[in-house]
Chains A and B, each alone.
Chain A
Amino acid sequence: MKELAGRLTALDPDAGAAVRVIAYFDRLAETRAGVEALVRGAAVLAGVPARLVDADRRVQVRVEADGTRRDSDLAPDPRWPSAALTPDGVPALWLERAGAAPSVVDAVILERAAGAARLVLDRTRGRAPLDDPALVETLLDATAAEPARRHAARRLGLDPLATARAVAARGGRPRVVPAAGPAAEAPGVRTGVGPAVPVSDLPRSWAAARTALRFTAEGTGLDPGPRVVHADELGGIALLADLVVPGAEPPPDVRAVETAAADAPWLLTTLYAVTATASLRAAAAEANVHHSTLQDRLAHAEHLLGWPVRTPEGRLRLHLALTMRRLARP
């Protein structure tokens, strides 16, 4: 029975097939099917992958001929048959059929699927500003009612079936980005990125993003460290966030680092390089000093800190101290 629907179309590639295609998409439109169902219909009926990209509304859906959703970041091939969502608009729906003249059936599929997709997008993604702060706030608020959050997600153009991440940037407004979309960070700003979660779980992603933000650093001499931290890359280290209270008296190892840093301006950058690289040779390159200079500096640092930083245990202790230093900031 496999691909019966597709094969019925293939059996009768002319007028009969076009009539069936029209009936297929009319029925999807009548039953208010979603965008993915429309793109899947185009892929299954055409027998090739189909994709819809609406950059303005941040919608990107790609479905293969067997019905599997598999989005792609690669640019569509301009030779593929395509259709726009609006008259005179840019191409938005493609059938990934390379090297063949588009058939009548392809043209009908594109026209009907694009028409139906436009209606769905207008209905569901509406004309809401894409980063309306009130909507984002609702979406990230665990105490907001589920329907209100769902509504906010729709208005923000988030695919309710896809996953998304909350993003916390220092000094900026909370943001939500589709997990499948482009990189979440703004250049030059300390940013915590939450894990990809179903849209209904975004409050959890937001909490994790805010925790991740505490692990970020300015990336300067006084505050070396990663400017962007992904919550799902922290692992067990995230537990430290609960142990170190911002603005409270820092743990002794952090005080030792502060005291040592007051004595040697190069110290923080050098020590961070040791924790952030795989070998002392790489650390020397990272800190931009000669290998022997690094050895001298580390011997000095060990003297100031009172513990070794070139043993695995000492390196871990140092790593924890630098991490807790960031967490302890007010």
Chain B
Amino acid sequence: MTSVPPPFDPELAAVLELIKDAISPALYPEDIEAVRQGPGMAMLADLDLTAGGAFEVEDRVVPGPEGSPEISLLICRPTGPAPARPRPVVYHVHGGGMVIGTNRVGVDFALDWARELDMVVVSVEYRLAPEHPYPAPVEDVYAGLLWTAEHAKELGGDPERIVIAGASAGGGLTAALALLLRDRGGPRPIGQLLLCPMLDDRNDTPSAHQMAGLGVWDRTANETGWTALLGERRGGPDVSPYAAPARAEDLSALPPAFLDVGSAETFRDEVVAFASRLWQAGGIAELHVWPGGFHGFDGFAPQAALSRSARAAHVDWLRRLLAE
């Protein structure tokens, strides 16, 4: 199946020229270690987490899943005067295709929201595939959320107002977390923010084929990520919805969702399908498909006009979600 891919947005196409040496569309298993050690990751993680003194930053080690190692949470608390009511919490799950990244990656998004809306940020470090295949990553994410809900008050946060959020693999893990919390009767987040989420291990949608070799995180890279997580089971009949949320039969009774994706990326069709299924299940969801966006464009090129619209949409949704 081949077809003409949608064009990249002009500004984003130009940014791809800048980053193409550092970030190629594909990722093979043998590249994983090099990318983890490479300058790209260091650059992505090199952030001023205090955002110029707006946050007090702490790394806290907390219990992991039963019988597993402890996990580390990055906690950023606003330094401004405490509001009358405890602050909402954004629980952030980083991206990186299930195989790379740290709890610093992409947390600048969460910090921007938190700054705008006076929230506490908690970003979880989870074990990565292939060394730690499913269910290690999602169970770490789950354990971190349990700790966050139980200790929210200690952080000046409101356990009744936790928003779970993540981009790319972090978006997939966030969607899986929402399913786990529903099915295990865990704490109820008030919303899930799924940014270009990685949802479907089958890796066989028209957009996945259409964008092969183009942009960021193409079908090859996606296969590398899912195979690292699931091994031989990838794409087969017995993949858990907690590994690949697109596999869930029941998408009812989930927190309101925000989903977005670029029209020019592998994940386009699986994200659109997932949003449709949320509505079909009677759920609340807002979906944005950004025309000409490549995977993660709003992180790689935050200055571009399309990125500014996307980032504004995230804040708008959160503002409406948190308004009472």
Interface residues on A, range: 20 to 34
Residues on A with C-beta less than 8 A from B15 are 5, 24
Binds B, one of A37-45, A87-95, A178-186, A322-330: A37-45
Q: Is the CB of B43 within 8 A of A40?
A: no
A3 to B302, CA, bound (A): 7
Interface centre among A6, A28, A31, A65 (most CB of B within 10 A): A31
Q: Is the CB of B10 within 8 A of A32?
A: yes
Residues on B with C-beta less than 8 A from A28 are 10-11, 13-14
Partner of A27 from B17, B301, B305 at Cβ < 8 Å: B17
Q: Is the CB of A24 within 8 A of B18?
A: yes
SS class of chain B's interface: helix, strand, loop or mixed? helix
A27 to B296, CA, bound (A): 19
| B47 interface residue per 8 A CB criterion | yes
Residues on B with C-beta less than 8 A from A67 are 302-305, 307-308
Partner of B19 from A5, A32, A66 at Cβ < 8 Å: A5
- Contacts A/B (CB < 8 Å), 29 sampled: A1-B105, A1-B299, A1-B300, A2-B47, A2-B302, A3-B302, A5-B300, A6-B303, A9-B18, A20-B17, A20-B18, A24-B15, A27-B10, A27-B13, A27-B14, A28-B14, A30-B13, A31-B10, A33-B10, A33-B14, A37-B10, A37-B304, A43-B303, A66-B302, A66-B303, A67-B304, A67-B305, A67-B307, A68-B308
| B88 interface residue per 8 A CB criterion | no
Residues on B with C-beta less than 8 A from A5 are 15, 18-19, 300-301, 303
Q: Is the CB of A4 within 8 A of B19?
A: yes
Provide the B11-44 mask, 1 if CB < 8 A to any CB of A, else 0: 1011111110010000000000000000000011
B294-324 with Cβ < 8 A to chain A: 296, 299-305, 307-308
Q: Is the CB of B305 within 8 A of A37?
A: yes
A1 to B42, CA, bound (A): 10
The minimal Cβ–Cβ distance linking B100 to chain A, given in whole angstroms, is 13
Q: Is the CB of B18 within 8 A of A31?
A: no
Residues on B with C-beta less than 8 A from A9 are 18
Partner of A25 from B7, B14, B16, B301 at Cβ < 8 Å: B14
Residues of A within 8 A of B (CB): 1-9, 20, 23-28, 30-34, 36-37, 40-41, 43-44, 65-68
Residues on B with C-beta less than 8 A from A44 are 303
The minimal Cβ–Cβ distance linking B92 to chain A, given in whole angstroms, is 14
SS class of chain A's interface: helix, strand, loop or mixed? helix
The minimal Cβ–Cβ distance linking A51 to chain B, given in whole angstroms, is 16
Provide the B80-122 mask, 1 if CB < 8 A to any CB of A, else 0: 0000000000000000000000000110100000000000000
Count of A-B contacts with CB under 8 A? 86
B223-255 with Cβ < 8 A to chain A: none
Residues on A with C-beta less than 8 A from B44 are 1, 4
Residues on A with C-beta less than 8 A from B308 are 67-68
Q: Is the CB of B22 within 8 A of A8?
A: yes
Residues of B within 8 A of A (CB): 7-8, 10-11, 13-19, 22, 43-44, 47, 105-106, 108, 296, 299-305, 307-308
A7 to B40, CA, bound (A): 11
The minimal Cβ–Cβ distance linking A41 to chain B, given in whole angstroms, is 6
Interface centre among A2, A43, A66 (most CB of B within 10 A): A2
The minimal Cβ–Cβ distance linking B192 to chain A, given in whole angstroms, is 21
Closest 3 CB pairs of A and B: A67-B303, A33-B10, A31-B10
Residues on A with C-beta less than 8 A from B22 are 8
A148 to B47, CA, bound (A): 48
Q: Is the CB of A7 within 8 A of B17?
A: no
A43 to B300, CA, bound (A): 16
A265 to B17, CA, bound (A): 75
A252 to B208, CA, bound (A): 75
The chain B residue with its CB closest to the CB of A17 is B18
Q: Is the CB of B17 within 8 A of A23?
A: yes
A33 to B304, CA, bound (A): 12
Q: Is the CB of A7 within 8 A of B10?
A: no
The chain B residue with its CB closest to the CB of A26 is B17
Q: Is the CB of B302 within 8 A of A40?
A: no
Partner of A8 from B18, B108, B299 at Cβ < 8 Å: B18
Residues on B with C-beta less than 8 A from A68 are 308
Known: A4-B300, A5-B300, A5-B303. A40 touches B11 (CB 8 A): yes
A44 to B14, CA, bound (A): 12
Q: A5-B303, A31-B8, A31-B14 are in contact. List 6 more A-B contacts (CB 8 A).
A: A1-B106, A2-B302, A5-B15, A27-B17, A40-B11, A66-B303
Partner of B7 from A20, A31, A37, A65 at Cβ < 8 Å: A31
Residues on A with C-beta less than 8 A from B43 are 4, 7
Q: Is the CB of B11 within 8 A of A37?
A: yes
The minimal Cβ–Cβ distance linking A106 to chain B, given in whole angstroms, is 17
Q: Is the CB of B302 within 8 A of A41?
A: no
A15 to B106, CA, bound (A): 30
A5 to B18, CA, bound (A): 6
Interface centre among B17, B19, B303, B305 (most CB of A within 10 A): B303
The minimal Cβ–Cβ distance linking B312 to chain A, given in whole angstroms, is 12
The chain A residue with its CB closest to the CB of B304 is A67
Q: Is the CB of A40 within 8 A of B17?
A: no
Known: A2-B108, A7-B43. A31 touches B304 (CB 8 A): no
The chain B residue with its CB closest to the CB of A67 is B303
The minimal Cβ–Cβ distance linking B1 to chain A, given in whole angstroms, is 26
Q: Is the CB of A41 within 8 A of B17?
A: no
The minimal Cβ–Cβ distance linking B39 to chain A, given in whole angstroms, is 8
